[in-house]
Amino acid sequence: MPSTNSSVTGVEGLYKAFVPFLIGCVGLLWVLVAGQLLAKRPTAQGPDQLRKAGWGLASLAGVWFVIAANPTGMVSSLARSASRPLTIGVLALTVGAALATRFMWSRPVAQHFGTTRATIGWINYLLDLVGVTDAGAGQGWLTDRSTALLSMVVVFAWMQFGFNTVLYLAGHQGVPKELYEAAEIDGANPWQIFRRITVPQLRATTFYVVVTTSILALQLFDIVWILSLPEAGGPGFATQTPVLTLYLEAFRENKQGYASALAWILFIGIFGLTSIQFRSQRDEASSGGLS
Amino acid sequence: MSVKRKGPRAALVRALTYVLLVAVAAIVIFPFVVAVATSTKNNQDIYNYPPTLIPRENQTVSASSVGVEGDPKPLYSFPDSDATYVLVDNDVSIAEFRRLGDLERVIRVDVTLGIKTGDTVEIDGEQEDVFVVELDGIAVQAYRSRLTSGGRFVNLDDPSDIRFELVNLAEPETQFGPRLSNFSEVLIDKELGRSLTNTILVTLAVVGGQILTSILGGYAFARIDFKGRNSIFLVYLGSVMVPFVVLIIPLFQLMLQVGWLDNLAALIIPFVFTAYGTFLMRQFFVGVPKEIEEAALLDNASRSTILWKIMVPLARPAIATLATFGFLYAWNSFFWPLVIINSGNPDGRVLSLALSTLGGRSSTDVNLVFAGAVVAMTPPILVFLFAQRYFVRNSASSGLK
């Protein structure tokens, strides 16, 4: 019995790994396309319109950060089929790395990864290797208006990956083993097990991950600040986020009243998300579905 | 009837799962690996293409082995020769000639070595002087296409074999060579040591303060009856709902009034009170059976004895969780220090801030920025490794379950 058990979870693990991968790819593709379309907008307009466009882009940026960061957490379900030391090792490294990453990103570092200057960066080099680009042609990921935001989305997703993975792992430990055993006895195939048990059982986790990551994305500041300097929020307004706008208005323009107004607008959005999250937790708790 | 998957197919699926798992892990860990690798590279190595993960340094020989004085000289090789050459002088004037009849053939020699013949030849509509230069021991006719500066290379085994070439066209002979002095350089010369000290100080103070206030507050909310306890607790807990962005400007104004701008106190004092930590400790204390306390009360133990001698030792897991979260938060914080310690007080900078300015100031020294980053991210990773089980467990209980 144990051997058949592990084989089924192995198959299941495979599905679990592909699904988030596909979701992630679609999300990134969408960001890329939307980025291309939007990047062309602000150029022909005056400074005030630019500012407004910046705000529009800022809000969209928030949405994009959420989209790219969340599905990645799904990969964690894989951990169930892997051996424990491997899981712990991988987790510790990914989470540790992700937690410490705030320090890792600065503009020269980004250059080193190929995000601002061609030819020397790792990303451009790997793309060269795969043959996507001509050797040495390179892409200025952070200096190009259409890819700057995408680059930051990737960094944000990478930073959130570890913690969201821990959340999924913790959530997965709470799924009753009997459900899987019952499904196996009933002859469910791995995809059905994943679709009908794992996903619904992790619904609360998914919800929590989506909401908390959204709240973080809405308050995004440090990645953008560090990666877009010396032109904060640049190139143009391509990577302007709400909190970056707030900082610039309050501490560069010294318009602290105006910045406070921005903060309150932002507060409404975040508060909405937070209360939804609190309510759902209370419902889960009172319905007894989760301890 | 269920059909179980056994045998080769199951093994294949399992193997694929592992491959996939490792691939995902590799993608996630890769930037981290690059950071560690680059932090030990030298200034030349970081610009090498293709980039490598293993730090390389140029091989050198002592200057006396090629009969000159000075520092050790680097070794190079050329695609058209198996020999190893020593770069004796990397700044000599070089004339570039192109052989008449075979204009693709470039001949580089010391600028004094070409002999003008007095004839001219028309190249691309320009009249060019004809020179006689030596090519592989034979004198050939050529015209001078440009003057440049380059290196004088001497064959390591045959001192009579001298080549004049552009240094960037030569292939350096490299060997494994980590440059560990990056770390001391970034800590001492770039003054990140001071920022590191500040960060440690701030983090310890914040974590210590949070533990203290959370234990006291949590215990009071859990076990001491006072008027309006539950409503005060609700309001206190409600402050979790207020995102930090809303607090920035009022808090900044407050710090301005108190006179703590540019002061480390502004990084510590506002953060030693944490509703989340108090909530965590209260939840834990509420779960401790009352009988334990009542027994101690009967023995005439005071409240503080009960708290510190009985409750706190019991609460170690909760305290560890709180300390881990507090540590990671305080160590990583960037936005608030940027707001507070921004107006020209380099001595008050914390690590995250110092690193971002290091990145801006000496942006060519990627290796130093990475070295600083490695120094900065080692403590959080260690803390996480040690506190990992609390971290995972509490992530589960912090909202999901």
Residues A71, A225: Cα–Cα separation, whole Å: 25
A174·B246 Cβ contact <8 A? no
**Which residue from A97, A215, A230 is facing B32, i.e. has the nearest CB?**
A97
SS3 content of chain B, % helix, strand, coil (to 5): 55, 20, 25
Residues A207, A214: Cα–Cα separation, whole Å: 11
**Which range, A188-192, B342-346, B376-380, is most confident?**
B376-380
Chain A contact set for B352 (CB, 8 A): 102-103
| Mean pLDDT rounded to a whole number for chain B | 81
> Can you give the pLDDT at residue B216?
94
Chain B contact set for A263 (CB, 8 A): 245-246, 248-249
Q: State the complex-level ipTM.
A: 0.73
Res. A33: pLDDT tops 60: no
Choose the mutation target among A3, A25, A103, A223 for the interface with B, i.e. most B CBs under 10 Å: A103
Nearest chain A residue (CA) to B400: A205
**Which residue from A17, A100, A185 is facing B381, i.e. has the nearest CB?**
A100
B359·A163 Cβ contact <8 A? no
Beta carbons within 10 angstroms of residue B50's beta carbon: 12
pLDDT confidence bin for A17, thresholds 50/70/90: very low
pLDDT confidence bin for A6, thresholds 50/70/90: very low
Residue with tokens 């790395």: A97
SS3 B242: coil
A107·B339 Cβ contact <8 A? no
Residues A83, B307: Cα–Cα separation, whole Å: 41
Domain ranges across chain B: 57-176, 183-400
**Which residue from B241, B364, B377 is facing A103, i.e. has the nearest CB?**
B377
pLDDT confidence bin for B200, thresholds 50/70/90: very high
**Which range, A5-9, B1-5, B116-120, B210-214, is most confident?**
B210-214
The whole-number average pLDDT for the span A5-32 is: 46
Choose the mutation target among B251, B253, B339, B392 for the interface with A, i.e. most A CBs under 10 Å: B392
Q: Please indicate if any CB of chain B lies within 8 Å of the CB of A186.
A: yes
Res. A16: pLDDT tops 50: no
User: CB of A198 within 8 A of CB of A81?
Assistant: no
> Can you give the pLDDT at residue B251?
92
The whole-number average pLDDT for the span B88-95 is: 82
Weakest-pLDDT range from A28-37, A50-59, B309-318: A28-37
φ and ψ of A41, to 5 deg: -65, -55
Weakest-pLDDT range from A74-83, A238-247, B152-161, B228-237: A74-83
Higher pLDDT, A162 or A175: A175
The whole-number average pLDDT for the span A220-247 is: 81
A93·B32 Cβ contact <8 A? yes
> Can you give the pLDDT at residue B396?
52
Higher pLDDT, B49 or B361: B49
A100·B3 Cβ contact <8 A? no
Res. B366: pLDDT tops 90: no
Res. B1: pLDDT tops 70: no
> Can you give the pLDDT at residue B147?
81
Chain A contact set for B254 (CB, 8 A): none
Letter for the amino acid at B176? Answer: F
φ and ψ of A111, to 5 deg: -60, -40
Q: Please indicate if any CB of chain B lies within 8 Å of the CB of A154.
A: no
In tens, the pLDDT along B383-395 reads: 877 777 676 666 5
Q: Please indicate if any CB of chain B lies within 8 Å of the CB of A170.
A: yes
Q: In the beta sheet, which residues pair with residue B164? A: B152
Q: Please indicate if any CB of chain B lies within 8 Å of the CB of A260.
A: yes
Q: Cα dihedral angle (B86, B90, B92, B98), rounded to 10 degrees?
A: 70
Res. A180: pLDDT tops 80: yes
> Can you give the pLDDT at residue A242?
85
The whole-number average pLDDT for the span B53-61 is: 79
pLDDT confidence bin for B316, thresholds 50/70/90: confident
B245·A250 Cβ contact <8 A? no
Chain B contact set for A173 (CB, 8 A): 396
Q: Please indicate if any CB of chain B lies within 8 Å of the CB of A17.
A: yes
Res. A37: pLDDT tops 80: no
Res. A177: pLDDT tops 50: yes
φ and ψ of B82, to 5 deg: -85, -15
The whole-number average pLDDT for the span A241-259 is: 88
Chain A contact set for B364 (CB, 8 A): 108
CATH number of A2-287: 1.10.3720.10
Q: In the beta sheet, which residues pair with residue B56? A: B176
Higher pLDDT, A253 or A111: A253
User: CB of B193 within 8 A of CB of B187?
Assistant: yes
Q: Nearest-5° angle of CA B196, CA B202, CA B203?
A: 85
Burial A229-256 (b: 16+ CB within 10 A, else e): beebbbbbbbbbbbbbbbbbbbbeeeeb
**Which residue from B29, B31, B351 is facing A113, i.e. has the nearest CB?**
B31
User: Could you tell me how many CB contacts below 8 A there are between chain A and chain B?
Assistant: 245
Asked whether the whole model's pTM tops 0.80, one would answer: no
**Which residue from A8, A107, A208 is facing B400, i.e. has the nearest CB?**
A208
φ and ψ of B61, to 5 deg: -125, 160
Residues A117, A111: Cα–Cα separation, whole Å: 6
Res. B301: pLDDT tops 70: yes
B377·A97 Cβ contact <8 A? yes
> Can you give the pLDDT at residue B37?
85
pLDDT confidence bin for A98, thresholds 50/70/90: very low
pLDDT confidence bin for B179, thresholds 50/70/90: confident
φ and ψ of A239, to 5 deg: -120, 20
B358·A106 Cβ contact <8 A? yes
Res. B399: pLDDT tops 50: no
**Which range, A206-220, A245-259, B44-58, is most confident?**
A245-259
Chain A contact set for B3 (CB, 8 A): 187
> Can you give the pLDDT at residue B234?
87
Higher pLDDT, A207 or B257: B257
Q: Which CATH fold would you assign to the domain B183-400?
A: MetI-like fold (1.10.3720)
Res. A156: pLDDT tops 90: no
Res. A266: pLDDT tops 50: yes
In tens, the pLDDT along B322-341 reads: 898 888 888 888 889 988 88
**Which residue from B2, B328, B400 is facing A205, i.e. has the nearest CB?**
B400
User: CB of B335 within 8 A of CB of B249?
Assistant: no
Residues A89, B288: Cα–Cα separation, whole Å: 34
Closest CA to B51 of A111, A262, A168: A111
Eight-state DSSP code of residue A45: S
Beta carbons within 10 angstroms of residue A189's beta carbon: 17
Higher pLDDT, B239 or B281: B281
Q: Is the bond into A242 cis (omega within 30 degrees of 0)?
A: no
User: CB of B274 within 8 A of CB of B210?
Assistant: yes
User: CB of B358 within 8 A of CB of B186?
Assistant: yes
Res. A36: pLDDT tops 60: no
